Amino acid sequence: MITLKSPREIEAMEKSGAALAGMHLGIREFIKPGISSWKIEEFARKYFKAAGAKAEQIGFEGYKYATCVSVNDEICHGFPRKNLMLKKGDLVKVDTVVSVDGFFSDSCWSYAVGEVKPEIKKLMDVTKKALFMGIDQCVPGNRIGDIGAVIQHYTEDENGYGDVREFVGHGIQPTMHEDPMVPHYGEHGQGLRLKKGMTITVEPMINTGTWEADTSDPSGWLAKTADGGWICQYEHTLVVTDKGPKILTSQDPEADAKYIYDDNYAKYLDHYGKIAREVAEQFK
């Protein structure tokens, strides 16, 4: 069921989104070659506890971790692993869902471990631009297909990448995954019409090679690219408004100024960012 959120609900999701964005600000402080992907999980759990946020992925359909940490050719749902040591040049995707006072947010971010190859830097730049191109389509009256069409054209037709089909964005609140599904491929003018008050995620997963995924991992969770190509993902939670799409998980309210819902967001992020940096000091 799709629910249209009231201003009160959107403001509560802003707070949750800022708490999640704080995690990403903290990860930037210590991610480097030589740490294990498990260190990211440890940090996230400690930070969420300090921030008063609930890690909603723990227990979801049997998943045991607060984060998904996927490296290089791993598309998504990678377990944080004590024996997976990050190396210079790796591309790491960290995805999580949290709630604060019962309100949800969802965001994934990609991190270069040290200096990456130019072709990986380009992949990251193209994927991030595709994210915002998709977000810009999230206005009342547009359709779901408009989001996917601009992402697919830019990533596949203009840049020759693979635009993953198996995993898509989604509605969010009052639970982690709600209708509508939000593919990152499609046709203009097709699909559900967007309305003011919808809260959704846009989260393109873009591969250097084929768009096809290998989901045969025995864990039942981890997905990899079918051809071993490296994958990048960025994801924001947002709300559709009459003043354009408003991002609820921004890590930089100044750079994202036109996408910020109201002045409360920057205050929330400042609060959670301070907590995250304090916790991150213990992981350097």
Separation of alpha carbons 267 and 273, rounded Å: 10
Answer whether 193's CB lies under 8 Å from 173's CB: no
Separation of alpha carbons 260 and 218, rounded Å: 41
Annotated binding site: 77, 95, 106, 170, 177, 203, 235
Separation of alpha carbons 132 and 235, rounded Å: 10
Answer whether 71's CB lies under 8 Å from 120's CB: no
Annotated binding site for substrate: 77, 177
Annotated binding site for a divalent metal cation: 95, 106, 170, 203, 235
Separation of alpha carbons 234 and 206, rounded Å: 9
Answer whether 56's CB lies under 8 Å from 5's CB: no
Quote the strand ranges of 31-78, DSSP E. Answer: 54-55, 68-71, 74-76
Cα 172 to chain centroid, rounded: 13
Q: Give the three-class secondary structure for 24.
A: helix
Q: Which residue has the tokens 């991190």?
A: 111
| Maximal C-alpha separation, the chain | 50
